Structure 1
Amino acid sequence: MANHKSAEKRARQTERRTLVNQMRRSRMRTSVRKVEEAIRSGDKTAAQGALRSAESELAKGAGKGVAHRNTTARKTSRLAARINKMA
């Protein structure tokens, strides 16, 4: 438990930022899941649209520090490759 005024403030800020980061991470995961579902269904145009929005979400997450930028680049690249492989 925080004993100083500054430590109490820091604890409050951390709590708020943790919630915000959880929401951002959740949005990233949801967008990636939508792309994977579109790939599984076999709808290439839907998958491409989902990838466009997922790419944006992943870039936002990387920019905010929720995920590493190389991680988001790798995920985007792998999803794009899977979509390009579709008939």
Structure 2
Amino acid sequence: MPNIKSAIKRVKTAEKANLANAQVKSTMRTAIKKAEAALTSKEENASVLLSAAVKSVDKAASKGLIHKNAAARTKARLMKKA
């Protein structure tokens, strides 16, 4: 643990950011898995799950959690399955 007050604050804010980023990334992965499962089993709510997955991928890319090209590649693969 750092001794300098500003460094202590940075550690605390970094921990908060890490938790928030992990939550967004986990939500994205879950949405992708649900969409892929719905697309393979031809469920009727597959389009809703697909749009939710695309939205979560875009959100993660806008926050810088994943690269924009990785987001585009993920969305393209989902659309190809659809």
Do these two structures clear the TM 0.5 threshold for a shared fold by scoring above it?
Answer: yes
Structure 2 residue identity aligned to 1:2 = P
Deviations 1:4-53 (A, max 9, x none): 1111000000000000000000110011011111022123x422221111
In the other structure, the counterpart of 2:47 is 48
Q: Which residue does the alignment assign to 1:67?
A: 66
- Give aligned pairs, total: 82
Give the percent of matched residue pairs that are identical in Structure 1 and Structure 2.
38
Matched letter for residue 25 of structure 1: K
C-alpha RMSD of the superposition: 1.1
Q: Residue 67 of structure 1 aligns to a residue in which SS?
A: coil
1:82 matched residue in structure 2: 81
User: In the alignment, residue 28 of structure 1 is paired with which amino acid?
Assistant: M
Divergent runs of 4+, >3 A: none
Note the residue ranges of structure 1 that are not aligned, 5 or more in a row.
Answer: none
Helix, strand or coil for the counterpart of 1:42? coil
* Larger relative helix fraction: 1
Match of residue 32 from structure 1? 32
Amino acid at match of 2:77: R
Distance 1:31 1:38 in 2: 11
Q: Distance in 2 between matches of 1:62 and 1:53?
A: 14
Q: Return 5+ residue gaps in structure 2 as ranges.
A: none
Name the amino acid aligned to 1:56.
Answer: K
TM-score by length of 1: 0.87
